């Protein structure tokens, strides 16, 4: 009898130690995001905006333990941040099995976008910080879209994504492949507008606009031209070099003529 009791005690101790080890591994399993240097993140966020809007925009920094926090309160109605889990993460039916630590999504929104589109970024960052499993987070966000928890912008508006670097999903409606790109572009709110409505083209196949996120949260997207892109790349050469030193996948495409370089 005493032998049986001893075996039970040992089993309980082993279970406790195993559970404790698993708890200690949780941050690693959750693939917790390392923050960017503060000055670099601010510069990267503001690079999404045209020069005349940067000085007076509201800027947010990502606190991996809490979510986005205001680091500078602006006055012009524009908001800028660098998402590390973008809204395109929640498109498509592919399973979100881990939080990537290499996504860079500099985006800015006007006042209408801040009241509507930006909420998705904030909710995702907050839930991720709280330890929500990736698959559950995707399910929650997709459910909120379906139930119209996230409202359409209340008026026509604009989202600038003029940064010379963007790393996110290549075709999020289909799969979880990622891409590093130099594609400064402007997005106009286009709720419930289709490509056919605007005579849009296949995304990325030319200088003409196209529609993404068809439905209440749709955007009409237009890339800047080669000359404008080159000027922005030159302006932010030092910033791009700093990012490249942090992660190889954040290096600019090797061929300047190419806007995209698909990740391995």
Q: What is the pLDDT of residues 81-139, one digit of tens each?
A: 999 999 999 999 999 999 999 999 999 999 999 999 999 999 999 999 999 999 999 99
Q: What is the pLDDT of residues 158-197, one digit of tens each?
A: 999 999 999 999 999 999 999 999 999 999 998 878 888 8
Segment 227-247 mean pLDDT: 97
Q: What is the pLDDT of residues 54-74, one digit of tens each?
A: 999 999 999 999 999 999 999
Q: Find, among 87, 151, 91, 161, the residue nearest to 124 by Cα.
A: 87
Domain ranges (residues) in the chain: 1-30, 31-262
Segment 211-225 mean pLDDT: 86
Quote the pLDDT of residue 204: 63
Quote the pLDDT of residue 76: 98
* pTM (2 d.p.): 0.84
Q: Which residue has the higher pLDDT, 257 or 235?
A: 235
Residue 168, strand partner residues: 179
Quote the pLDDT of residue 215: 77
Q: What is the pLDDT of residues 23-43, one digit of tens each?
A: 333 333 446 789 999 999 999
Q: Which residue has the higher pLDDT, 113 or 264?
A: 113
Contact 106, 163 (CB under 8 A): yes
Quote the pLDDT of residue 258: 52
Q: What is the pLDDT of residues 1-13, one digit of tens each?
A: 444 444 333 333 3
Q: How confident is the model at residue 201 (pLDDT cuts 50, 70, 90)?
A: confident
What does the DSSP assignment read for 123-164? HHHHHHHTT--HHHHHHHHHHHHHTT-SPPPSS--EEEE--S
Contact 171, 153 (CB under 8 A): no
Quote the pLDDT of residue 255: 55
| Percentage of the chain exceeding pLDDT 90 | 70
Quote the pLDDT of residue 210: 87
Torsion of CA 178, 179, 185, 191, to 10 degrees: -20
């Amino acid at each position: 009898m005493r032998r049986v009791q001893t075996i039970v005690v040992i089993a309980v101790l082993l279970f406790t130690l195993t559970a404790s080890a698993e708890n200690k591994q949780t941050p690693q399993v959750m693939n917790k995001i390392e923050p960017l240097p503060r000055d670099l993140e601010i510069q990267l966020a503001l690079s999404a905006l045209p020069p005349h809007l940067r000085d007076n925009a509201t800027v947010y920094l990502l606190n991996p333990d809490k979510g986005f926090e205001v680091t500078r309160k602006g006055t012009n109605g524009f908001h800028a941040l660098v998402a590390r889990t973008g809204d395109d993460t929640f498109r498509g039916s592919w399973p979100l099995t881990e939080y990537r630590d290499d996504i860079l999504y500099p985006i800015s929104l006007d006042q209408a976008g801040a009241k509507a589109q930006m909420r998705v970024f904030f909710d995702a960052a907050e839930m991720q910080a709280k330890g929500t499993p990736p698959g559950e987070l995707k399910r929650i966000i997709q459910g909120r879209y379906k139930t119209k928890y996230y409202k359409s912008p209340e008026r026509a508006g604009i989202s600038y994504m003029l940064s010379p670097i963007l790393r996110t999903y290549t075709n999020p409606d289909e799969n979880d492949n990622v891409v590093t790109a130099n594609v400064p572009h402007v997005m106009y709110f286009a709720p419930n507008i289709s490509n056919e409505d605007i005579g849009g083209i296949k995304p990325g196949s030319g200088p003409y606009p196209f529609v993404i996120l068809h439905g209440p949260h749709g955007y009409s997207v237009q890339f800047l031209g080669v000359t404008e892109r080159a000027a922005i790349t030159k302006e932010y050469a030092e910033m791009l070099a700093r990012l490249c030193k942090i992660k190889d996948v954040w290096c600019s495409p090797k061929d300047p003529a190419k806007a995209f370089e698909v990740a391995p």
